[in-house]
Every structure is written in C-alpha cells, then in structure tokens.
Structure 1
Amino acid sequence: MTELHTDRLTLRRWRDSDLGPWAVMNADPEVREHLGDLLTREQSDASVARFQADFDRRGYGWWAVEVRATGKFIGFAGLDDVDDGMPFTGVEVGWRLARSAWGQGYATEAALAVLAYGFDTLEVPEILAVTTATNLRSQAVMRRIGMTRDPAEDFDDPGVPEGPLRPNVLFRIARGAGV
C-alpha cells in the first residue's frame, strides 16, 4: 500500500494502535454531527477492517492520517467509489479528523495529497466530494482544494432518512484543474 507524505502529514496503512483513537472519534457527537449515529467500538473496528480490505482489493481507499512530527493518529483521508444508489457515479475524496486536529489545515493538506494521487497515479479523470448541506466546514475544504459546486446537482441522499442529514451537496474537480 502506497504511503503519501505532505509537509506535516503521513497518510498510511491502518495500525492496531489506531483502533482506540478511531473509536473515540466515532463516539464523538461533534465529529459525527454530519455523519449520523455514533458508532460502537465494534462498528468502528469493523469499519477499519473494511477500509483495509477495500485498499487491498482496489489499490486505493481510506488512509490513516498521522502528524509527521509526533506520529499522532488524527483521522483518515482518501478515495472511495461512490455508493450504489446515488444519483451519480465516480470516485469520491473524503476526510474525517479528530476535533483536536480541526482548524489547522490538516484536512486541506491531506485532501490535496489524495487528489494528486487520484489524478497522477490512478489517472482518474474527475474526483467528487459529497457532504451534508449543513456541513459548511467540509464545504470550505472542498473549495480550498479547487472543487466547485453546481447547486443544480444538490440531492437528497437516498440512504438517509428524512431529516437534516438527508440534503447533500456535490462538488467536483477535473484532472488538470489544479488549485
């Protein structure tokens, strides 16, 4: 599995030592605010097993993200295939960071590294990003990494029940668009 490095971050394979802090993130109501229900430790651990299996099968997926200077695990970033049943197809970029890592530019830095990998190594022609209409922080990251939104493409996520998490926005960036 390829590791990605930025000035401040390493995006790498998951380790057993990541499971505890990952579970804490998934049990944090602020981290999960735009994602739905809190996860149990078992659900959280199972998600990492899926991430690793997807990466092994496809050659891309969700990397664990750590701060290079300290080795501290702070979350994930990566690429995933758009879920079946969505009103579009393609490859999606995403990230999730612990609250202690918010506001430091880490999501932008990790996302830019992931976009470069998707475009330069995987030669994906376009990368998408999706979030809830209320997740303004993630939408700001999407704009910072050069993605654009057409409000005509906003949609209700068919896998989410009626409520504030159902309305979603779709951002796009084409290979060669750059930031």
Structure 2
Amino acid sequence: MPEPELRTDRLLLRRWRESDLEPWAAMNADPEVREHLGEPLTREQSDAVAALMRAEFEERGFGWWALEVRATGEFIGRAGLDEVDAGMPFAGVDVGWRLTRSAWGHGYATEAALSCLAFGFEVLGLPEIIATTTVGNVRSQAVMRRIGMTRDPADDFEDPSVPEGPLRRCVLYRIRRDAPPAARRAAGS
C-alpha cells in the first residue's frame, strides 16, 4: 500500500528518505530529546528504528511519518500513529510525535498530531485514538490536551517494557471519534 502524505499549513508528513537518517540519529543521540524515552541511541540503533518504522508503515498503510517544515524542507522529527505493542495493559492505536529540540515551542507537535488524528478518524475509521507518555513529560501532556484528548488517572499505568525507575510510570490520554463537538474541533475534525 502506498504511504499517504499529510500536509498542514506548515508541515509535510511524508515517506522517510535516506537523507533523514543522519538528522534522525542526531535527534536520538540528544539526551534532552530522549529525556522521557530512555538512553540516547547509537547510530546503528537509530537506523534500525527507522528501518522498522518504514517496514511497519508499508505493511499497515499507516505509522510514523518523517516530519518536514514545508517552507524550508528541514527534517524536524517524526509524527504518526502506531499500534499499541502487545503486553501493554491496553490496546488500540497511539498518536505520537518526536521533534528535534530546535523545533520545540513552535506548535509543530500540535499541528502534526491534529493531522494524524484526522487521518486516523477519517481515513482509517478508528473509533478511538490514545496517547501515552511518562508522568513527568508535561510538554507532551500539554499537546495531548491541546488536541482535545482527556486523561482519566485510573488509566495511568506502569509500562512493562521499561525497567524500574522514573520512566516506568505513564499516563494515558484518549479521544474518541464521537467526542463532543468542542473536543472534535480541537482535534481538527
């Protein structure tokens, strides 16, 4: 299945290119970018993640898009939808983003996430989309609220794929296709 491109006013969510691998690796080697994700990745680990993202997208027809600023062509990270891994205490499709530090604070994560939600609801017909992050990742939680998602503290969980420590305790946000009109407007649908 061909990978769709998503366009917003400022962003292009597109197929990955070989030229993305170097800035992707630099991003994954940045301790601040990885603060809520775990240890920085080596170039080999980063390339392996990119290869997996590409393969999963080809197989499913959705996944992680490379994120580019339309005006400059600059690669600034990734955004997309991903199936929740087996073994988690919930199932579904997760919306997410990871941006290079130079792209923080410009509203790009919110803009990309809204585009991904619209794709998930309108193209994939998903009834619900979730988002997860560590308890301490207040920046990502703010994006989740801005895109119309809500959190029930009863859904908070320990990520079984993460070793004991501060990154294990996570929060879960949700938005349903049939969300009230105000939340749906926030989600760009």
CA distance in 2, matches of 1:48, 1:10: 18
Counterpart position of 2:77: 75
Moved beyond 3 Å, runs of 4+: none
One-letter code of the match for 2:19?
Answer: S
Counterpart position of 2:97: 95
Counterpart position of 2:48: 46
| Alignment counterpart, residue 170 of structure 1, candidates 166, 172, 177 | 172
One-letter code of the match for 1:76?
Answer: R
Alignment identity in percent?
A: 73
Cα drift, residue 176 of structure 1: 3.5
Cα drift, residue 37 of structure 1: 1.1
Q: How many residues align?
A: 179
Counterpart position of 1:36: 38
Confirm or deny that 1:126 pairs with 2:128: yes
CA distance in 1, matches of 2:124, 2:155: 25
CA distance in 1, matches of 2:45, 2:16: 16
Confirm or deny that 1:151 pairs with 2:131: no
CA distance in 2, matches of 1:165, 1:84: 19
Cα drift, residue 45 of structure 1: 0.6
Secondary structure of residue in 1 paired with 2:115: helix
Gaps of 5+ in 1: none
CA distance in 1, matches of 2:50, 2:101: 19
Gaps of 5+ in 2: none
Secondary structure of residue in 1 paired with 2:98: strand
Q: Deviations over 1:33-88 (max 9, x none)?
A: 00001100011011111011001000000000000000000000000000111110
Q: Deviations over 1:91-128 (max 9, x none)?
A: 00000000000000000000000000000000000000
Secondary structure of residue in 1 paired with 2:164: coil
Confirm or deny that 1:66 pairs with 2:73: no
Q: Deviations over 1:120-157 (max 9, x none)?
A: 00000000000000000000000000000000110110
| Alignment counterpart, residue 8 of structure 2, candidates 6, 9, 26 | 6
Secondary structure of residue in 2 paired with 1:83: coil
CA distance in 2, matches of 1:163, 1:55: 31
| Alignment counterpart, residue 162 of structure 2, candidates 149, 160, 163 | 160
Counterpart position of 1:57: 59
TM-score w.r.t. length of structure 1: 0.99
